[in-house]
Structure 1
Amino acid sequence: MSKEIVHTTSAATPLGAYPHARKVGNLLFLSGIGPRSAKDNSIPGLELDAEGHIVKYDIEAECHSVFANVKAVLEASGSSWDKIVDVTVFLTNMKKDFPIYNKIYAEYFTSVQACRTTVEIKSLPTPIAIELKVIATID
């Protein structure tokens, strides 16, 4: 059974010793993917104060960016958006962000009908508000 490691320059560089994705048989497991830009590691819509605390963020911009990063990793891995079968979504502010995220999610996933779990967590490794963990197939 093939266990190919996938790295791509089309999505933000991983923050640790892990790949963007790993192929196991006909399944593709993506590492947690956030909205950081592949070009410069910036986070769309984020404003920090002098101490590095979040002043404001734009969940809509982060959603579009994280979905673009997921798409880039899928394509670099030989898969595609329509082959997503399972998504785990991590939000740092469920009450505030869920309605906007859920609306944008529907724009991207209505025809895919992947299984989904959405959980709130206290924080993520960088000052982002959303991260996705995805499983897809490879034909």
Structure 2
Amino acid sequence: MRPPMGGAHGEKNMGRITTNITVENVSVPGNTITVNALVDTGASYLTFPLAWKEKLGPFGSQHEIELQTATQEIVKGIFCGPVRITVEGFRPVHNDVLFLDMIPDKGQYEPLLGYIVLEQCGVAVDMSEHRLVPIKYMDAKFGWETKGKT
């Protein structure tokens, strides 16, 4: 694992945005990993290398899924949870983590923070400043008039 880097709202690194995240297995409190992850709005899930799965496990739920990579390759991953995910500087959320067989680059894995967790945390990506920013309001779509408008 890489040592944590970056600030509360993401670190700018050659056009890449990274941020510290902490992931804790809800089924086994104390099984926690804190890493610096690449913010990838093209990825759906929080994605960790399969090599880290045992550090967080065992999980309450686990199942294998097929995914399509950015290079159109079909790969298998293991979806595990529930986990508590804290993106540094934002509110924690509960979701699952996807484990994929990854090849380390120069001995380092690159975990990905995908758009689903970003949206749950109320995070937007400011591309002009290459940083994470809080969303003022979450989306709420209703097909009818709502009472108690504020």
Identify whether the pair has TM-score above 0.5, normalized to the shorter chain.
no
TM-score by length of 2: 0.30
Give the helix-richer structure, 1 or 2.
1
TM-score by length of 1: 0.32
Q: Which has the higher contact order (CA 8 A, sep 6+)?
A: 1
Q: Which one has the largest radius of gyration?
A: 2
